[in-house]
Amino acid sequence: MPYELADRLVVGIASSALFDLTESDRVFLEQGEDAYRAYQRKHLDDTLDPGVAFSFIRRLLSLNDLAPAADPLVEVIVLSRNDPDTGLRVMRSIESHTLSISRAVFMQGRSPYRFMPALSMSLFLSADQEDVREAVALGLPAGTVLGPAAADDHDDTDLRIAFDFDGVLADDAAERLYKSGGIEEFRTHEVANARVAHAPGPLKDFLAAVNRIQRREEEEQRANPAYRMRVHVSIVTARNAPAHERAVLSLNHWGLRVNDAFFLGGIDKGRIMSVLRPHIFFDDQAGHLTSTALTTPSVHVPFGLLNQPASDAPAP
């Protein structure tokens, strides 16, 4: 029987998000493709250092201990612009770091993001901004990794995930209204429509898949009271009262949940991240990520009006 992906949390990861490719990228840019191939062959057995999303991916995969080995909850698949030959170093590094990733798509010089629907992916992470923008333009859930490759404590198995709300979990209708009408019109509209759920945003299905794992954790805790919940989800949003209510009720309407919510009303998100210390944070506004990426593995989701090039934005 074929291996089914539909009921799993499936993440696509570019080698540029999983590992630090600074040196090999420099060789490619400065010396060209032939020198890059020679460099990768020469360093085939040199394990690549962790990249921005490494800790997030390692901890996500560790949740497979909640299911039989033949039926994992999480599947991570490498999606790479490398060809199979130069991709060997990536796969050997995965093995060296003991990551349980066995599936990969290598397409020489082309991004394989268009295979995301066929592979039931609810998220694709890459350091290539153009690939991510093209994927999001096609309605696919993707983000560009930013920030440090955080030190990973292998004795700590927690996984902390943080999301912005508008333009990430929800669509960007509220952001469009804020941009066109200002803060007061935005607040008035959100209060009047508090019980009308927002349309889903690009990462709504990813949160749904994370919630399924959290429910599996709850089952484990009921069977084994000593089990400690590992997955923790937060929203960190510029909304504040009274606009907070529509965000909460939208999550309820979608059948989704978060453990914590920070309604900041313009407070710098970077200050919160330095205390919350998520293993990954998703936001659609690059300006918010300028501060979070200083301390926190961050992901820019280039969705909606605020991320359209000026030449593509609709006339006022």
Residues labelled as active-site residues: 164
Q: Hey, what are 293's tokens?
A: 């990426």
Distance CA 122, CA 207 (A): 9
Tokens 């394989």, located at residue: 112
If you count DSSP H runs as helices and E runs as strands, how many of each does the chain have, helices first? Answer: 11, 10
What is the Cα–Cα distance from 87 to 37, expressed in whole angstroms? 10
The two three-digit tokens of residue 87, written as one number: 């991709």
Are 62 and 152 in contact by the 8 Å Cβ rule? The answer is no
Q: What is the DSSP string of 30-87?
A: HH-HHHHHHHHHHTTTSPPPB-TTHHHHHHHHHGGGGS-TTS-SEEEEEEESS-TTTT
Determine the 3-state secondary structure of 264 from DSSP: coil
Region class of 265: left (phi > 0), else alpha (psi between -120 and 50), else beta: left
Which residue in this structure is represented by tokens 């949390």?
9
**CA distances (Å), origin 282, targets 145, 215, 297:** 9, 22, 9
Alpha carbons 119 and 9: distance in angstroms, whole number: 11
